[in-house]
Amino acid sequence: MPLRSPSIMKIVQATAEHLVPVAELFNQYRMFYEQPDDLAGATAFIQGNIENARSQVFVLFDASGRAAAFSQLYPTYCSTEMRPIMYLSDLFVDPTQRRKGYARALMAFLIEHFGRQAMHRLTLETATTNVGAQKLYESLGYQRDQVFVTYHRVL
């Protein structure tokens, strides 16, 4: 169900028809995290995720109909709670569209949308240097994990 806010934006779950603008935003997102420019790879990745329902992608359109932000979430489960959760892997606002409340609107939409689906929680990570994102998440009620330490092993 699209979210509409006083004629300034619309949020929809991405389908194949949204592939080009979402892939462009996803490519920018990857470059923000110091990955090489790879629009073809970004397009193939997003297309595969949408077509195979591996993730749920949402796109925010501004008042002019331009894709200004996107998010990508992966469904998983919390074993100890024995309930489904969503992992918010990606959230990005076009740098020319920042400071307009789009990230906050997209996050509020996700909280409401997945809350209605009885998800146990939305989990996310962000770079330790991304202080702006941390402030946003904390202002929306997210709590920094004080119990668990995350490890990664590149294979």
Q: What is the pLDDT of residues 58-106, one digit of tens each?
A: 999 999 999 999 999 999 999 999 999 999 999 999 999 999 999 999 9
How many domains does the chain fold into? Answer: 1
> Considering the domain boundaries, does residue 58 fall inside one?
yes
Residue pLDDT, tens place only, 19-69: 999 999 999 999 999 999 999 999 999 999 999 999 999 999 999 999 999
Distance separating alpha carbons of residues 105 and 62, to the nearest angstrom: 11
Are the C-beta atoms of 69 and 94 separated by less than 8 Å? yes
Structural domain span for residue 79 = 3-139
Give residue for tokens 């994990």: 145
- Residue 100 lies inside a defined structural domain of this protein: yes
Residue 144 lies in a domain: no
Check which CATH number belongs to the domain holding 37 and give it. Answer: 3.40.630.30
User: Are 49 and 101 contacting, i.e. CB atoms less than 8 angstroms apart?
Assistant: no
**Residue 6 neighbours by CB distance under 10 Å:** 6
The pLDDT score that the predictor gives to residue 8 is 78
pTM to 2 decimal places: 0.90
Within a domain: residue 145? no
Instruction: Give a yes or no: residue 126 inside a domain.
Output: yes
Q: Is residue 63 part of a domain?
A: yes
